[in-house]
Structure 1
Amino acid sequence: MKRPVILDCDPGHDDAISLILALSSTELDVLAVTTSAGNQTQAKTLNNALRVLTLLGRHDIPVASGAPKPLARELIIADNVHGESGLDGPKLPDPAFAPVAQTAIELIAEKVRQSDTPVTLIPTGPLTNIAIFLTAYPELHANIHSIVLMGGAAGAGNWTPAAEFNIFVDPEAADIVFKSKLPIVMCGLDVTHEAQIMDEDIERIRKIDNPVAQCVAELLDFFMIYHRDPKWGFTGAPLHDPCTIAWLLKPELFTTTDCWVGIETKGEYTQGMTVVDRYQLTSNPHNAKVMFNIDRPGFVDFIVDCLEKY
């Protein structure tokens, strides 16, 4: 039986690749795609989701636009990473279909309510839409299987010394999600910085003879530019968001630890920090399964296998 999922994303190069991987699978039933403001503005991330689904010929998947800004802060975008469009690099088609009239929150609620099987939410951007949904529809929590999210870190951040970008953009939303008592799997920087794609991996993808794989190779070419800055110490580019899809389909690739995770919303230097109690130093009960390690060659093989299906 297929696992029903909803992808809430802010495409973004790695979000786009997550969409592509998820839709290659016969094990996932993608009920909807909703967009958040983050890597770019809401208008651009919505357009990018529609462009990716147009490339894949998946006009059947409803797409809805989410909140235009964080719950309590002004929007911060990552155009220095993803470019002016949010998906600079490849030439993607213009959208061949329109988003639904519903908001992202309304669409998530409708799909969760209608599903005969509990739904897995997969947010790979700021958690604004998910937090609003959880707050507005408490009666639907029982039909959520889990929240598999990309965000946070137990160690250093990538937007500030303490904070990862997605959580930093809307820490109040993240606080709501991590306090929801729903099962959470956190794909943070501790694992995604191990999930690097190297130049030779991109060339391996480029050799796959289909337009989708060619698009992914070009996305990675652009994504690599930002991550070549010597300050990161990377050999390749960390492919953050696809770790969520890999976890759902190949959990054996990962090492995880059950932890309590708190969100810092007020710190002068630590706004957006995910405080991960890896060693049970507090009495707080575990509220997340946190990823720490990945089989990188197996992860690359997984991506190649998905792309070959196109």
Structure 2
Amino acid sequence: MKNILIDCDPGHDDALAIMVALAHSEAVNVLGITTIGGNQTLTKVTQNAKNILHFLDVTIPLAKGQEGPLVKALKTAPEAHGESGMDGPYFDGESYPVSDLTGVEFLYQMIQASTEKVTLVALGPLTNIALLLKTHPDIVPAIEAISLMGGGISHGNQTALAEFNIYVDPEAAEIVFQSGIPIIMAGLDVTEKAEITVQEINALQNGGKVSNLAYELLSFYNQSGRQFGFIDSPIHDLCAIAYLLRPDIFNGVQADIHVITDNSPARGLTYGDFRRIAEEPKQTFVLQEVNREKFVELLVDSLKKLDRQVENR
């Protein structure tokens, strides 16, 4: 079993990633969740995390992280996720306890307290994790890996060259990619292949309470995605969790990844050294392909599992 900490900015696909992780307590032990300003403001994404955890009736520790990036002002994505950051379902401002610790101190203390190494799952900008590594370098040996959604070798989405999570805080991303910690990178090269079809989304409506919530999330997300040229819906963030559960449905290649941090049109671009003999260690496993059908099967089966769990509580 892997001990994991999820750093996120919910976000429709963040919410689905959290759901799938919590459905598989036999494989991943979610020690806690931190939020980061990204898809929306820190206040909004933290409320979204509270809504999901309250809805699932779980007791996972939650902490608020940084409001914005290391250097520049936060750029949110209401065009993709709506004004709440997770538009679609109706939540009545559900309450859920939030730690008094900062996100960075929360992550540090949770890793310190774990008797086994911890895998960090990063679903938003990498600000919290970069600050953790810079503030507490002693914690690096206790981190088994970082599984992140971010970047893209062939193209971007926030700009022609840069993916949103990396573009929001490229300075933090460069710190993380060059930390020496093994990284699994689920960038746009693979996440845009991890699509759920409209028909598969509609089928969720016939399920239980959690499946119906996923239907509401994905219905909004699918309509929002049309403006970006998508007919079906890539569930980007879920790839970072799905790899930990089902690495067999992905393939990729090792590389040394860097991030452009200047103010040129390439700001936020992730690029890799894929040469057989690279100048630096190839610490990042760059995911390139996914079995779409098995990816969707993992999601649907996880939702059904949560349906049963919620009904039995």
Asked if Structure 1 and Structure 2 have the same fold, meaning a TM-score greater than 0.5 normalized by the shorter chain, the answer is yes
Contact kept, 8 Å, 2:222 with 2:231, in 1: the verdict is no
What SS does the aligned partner of 2:293 have?
Answer: helix
Amino acid at match of 1:135: K
Number of the residue aligned with 1:29: 29
Q: CA shift at 1:95, angstroms?
A: 2.4
Preserved CA contact (<8 Å) 2:166 2:268: yes
Tell me, yes or no, if structure 1 residue 300 matches structure 2 residue 299: no
Which residue of structure 1 aligns with residue 222 of structure 2? 224
Match of 1:284 in 2: 280
* Contact 1:109-1:137 within 8 A present in 2 as well: yes
Aligned to 1:135: 134
Partner in structure 2 of residue 47 of structure 1: 47
d(CA) in 1 for partners of 2:48 and 2:303? 19
1:11 and 1:158 map into 2 onto residues whose CA distance is 18
In the aligned structure 1, how far is the partner of 2:115 from the partner of 2:277? 40
What is the match of residue 256 of structure 1? 252
- 1:73-152 paired onto structure 2 within 5 Å: 73-152=72-151
- Hey, what does 1:57 align to over in structure 2? 57
User: What is the Cα deviation at residue 201 of structure 1?
Assistant: 1.0
Counterpart Cα distance in 2 of 1:272 and 1:48: 26
1:16 is the counterpart of 2:15: yes
Q: TM (normalized to structure 1)?
A: 0.96
Paired with 1:304 and 1:92, the residues of 2 have a C-alpha distance of: 22
Change (3 A) 1:280 1:160: farther
Q: Which residue of 1 aligns with 2:310?
A: none
User: For the Cα contact (< 8 Å) 1:54–1:93, is it kept in 2?
Assistant: no
> Which amino acid is the alignment partner of residue 34 of structure 2?
T
Corresponding residue for residue 209 of structure 2: 211
In 2, distance between residues paired with 1:139 and 1:283?
A: 26
Aligned AA for 2:235?
L
3-state SS in 2 of match to 1:292:
strand
What SS does structure 2 have at the residue aligned with 1:20? helix
Displacement after TM superposition at 1:3 (Å):
1.4
3-state SS of the aligned residue for 1:309?
Answer: helix
Aligned equivalents of 1:278, 1:196: Cα separation in 2: 27
Q: Using the TM superposition, give the Cα deviation of residue 276 of structure 1 relative to its aligned residue in structure 2, in angstroms.
A: 1.9
Q: 4+ runs of 1 displaced by more than 6 Å?
A: none
Give the match's secondary structure for 2:254.
Answer: strand
What is the aligned length?
305
Shift of 1:282: 4.9
Moved more, 279-288 or 239-248: 279-288
